[in-house]
Amino acid sequence: MTKMEYVRLGKTGMKVSRICLGAMSYGSSKWLPWVKDEEESLELIKMAYDAGINFIDTANVYSNGLSERVVGKAIKKFNLPRNRIVIATKVHFPVHEDDISIQPHGLPLDDPRLVNNGGLSRKAILQSVDDSLRRLDLDYIDLLYIHRFDEETPMEETMEALHDVVKSGKVRYLGASYMNAWRFVQMNAIAEMNGWTKFVAMQNLYNLVYREEEREMIPYLAYKGIGQVPYSPLERGKLARPLDQDTLRSSADSNKPWSRSLTDADKEIIQRIQKVAEQRGVPMAQVSIAWLLSKPTVASPIVGISKESHLKDAVAAVSLKLTEEEIKFLEEPYVTKPTISK
């Protein structure tokens, strides 16, 4: 298998593998049908670590806490060296540990189970961090993301609470995910003005069929030296297979709020990915991930790995260097679309 490479996360001194293991795929199939249950999840995490992946991305909401538990169990079961691995998790969404089947956005907004369960208030952040540490069975979190922007909580309250969990020793670094660039800029500015801990990473949607982050977010990341950790690099598998193929995940997610239909331009891009892959003699997934890795702000795309072939493709993409002509060929059909961030 290809040798893994490691880079600094943004301007920090912390090094991460060029591929980040996405643990949304691990926990319980009762949450989403394509999620792997505990035993298989543990083996896949070990396989990824053995392939050189030291960066694992989970969230409190994934499988309503079970994903964090599985990651923690893998660390203990396989004696993964805590000083060499980087564990990222997230706060914002409500967690329902007593009912694994409840999905994000699965309850009406007036349901009493949502009161103070989630969000980015001081109360919610401090509680969420303690709960995540309990489930992970760890003393600290390497990278804590805010999973979404919270319109109900003042930015100052959120940033001070995040600073406090860093200074308490429970969190090492901060990141944000899925928000408009102006909000991300403002939150970092508030932290800087008050001498609080700033964000060092942005986890955003970025792939060959969604490049809207190139307008404002990515130039800001480049200017500030903030590491980009894009999620959905394969657009939930659509950039890893020909147009006429389907998967359990794409079928199961088709009616979910996060599902996105392919445009004619998207379909042309997928056909071009297939053409480059055939010319190179590699799977389509390698081409799609290699395109991301060619971008200077991208530290580590988050890849969901549910079988060994996924792992091999992701790791092999690290050494696949696309030519300028290939990159232009892949990007050329793109047509701008509405942004999904808020």
Q: Is the pTM of this model over 0.85?
A: yes
Give the model's confidence band at 247: pLDDT under 50 very low, under 70 low, under 90 confident, else very high.
Answer: low
In this predicted structure, what is the pLDDT of residue 244?
Answer: 85
Transcribe 161-226 into DSSP letters.
HHHHHHHTTSEEEEEEES--HHHHHHHHHHHHHHTPPPEEEEE-B-BTTB-GGGTTHHHHHHHHTP
Higher pLDDT, 256 or 77: 77
Whether the predicted pLDDT of 249 surpasses 80:
no
Question: Among candidates 44, 333, 20, which has minimal Cα distance to 203?
Answer: 20
C-alpha to C-alpha distance for 253 and 257, rounded to whole angstroms: 8
* Segment 151-180, tens digit of pLDDT: 999 999 999 999 999 999 999 999 999 999
Residue-wise pLDDT tens digits, 274-309: 999 999 999 999 999 999 999 999 999 999 999 999
Instruction: Name the DSSP class of 299.
Output: -
Q: What is the mean pLDDT of the chain?
A: 95
Query: Which residues in 58-105 belong to E strands, given as ranges?
Result: 86-91
Task: Check if the beta carbon of residue 287 is closer than 8 Å to that of residue 318.
Answer: no
Q: Which residues pair with 227 in a beta bridge?
A: 201
Dist CA 328 CA 184 (whole Å): 29
Helix (H) or strand (E) holding 55: strand 55-57
| Cα 152 off chain centre by | 24
What pLDDT shows up at residue 250? Answer: 58
Residue range 309-313: mean pLDDT, rounded: 95
Q: Find how far residue 295's CA is from the centre of its chain.
A: 17
Q: CATH for 6-331?
A: 3.20.20.100
| pLDDT tens digits, 169-225 | 999 999 999 999 999 999 999 999 999 999 999 999 999 999 999 999 999 999 999
pLDDT for 2 equals 75
Residue 290: alpha-carbon gap to chain centroid: 17
Residue 248: the pLDDT is 59
pLDDT one-digit tens code per residue, 33-53: 999 999 999 999 999 999 999
Q: What average pLDDT does range 231-258 have in this prediction?
A: 77
Backbone region of residue 22 per phi and psi (left: phi > 0; alpha: psi in -120 to 50; beta: other values): beta
Residue 264 parent element (H or E): helix 264-280
SS3 250: helix
Catalytic positions, please? 62
Q: List pLDDT tens digits, range 318-330.
A: 999 999 999 999 9
Q: Tell me how far apart the terminal alpha carbons of the chain are, to the nearest angstrom.
A: 40
Q: How confident is the model at residue 105 (pLDDT cuts 50, 70, 90)?
A: confident
What pLDDT score does 324 carry?
Answer: 98
pLDDT exceeds 90 at position 67: yes
Q: Are 315 and 4 in contact (CB under 8 A)?
A: yes
Give the C-alpha separation, 142 to 73, whole Å.
17
Beta bridge partners of 27: 37
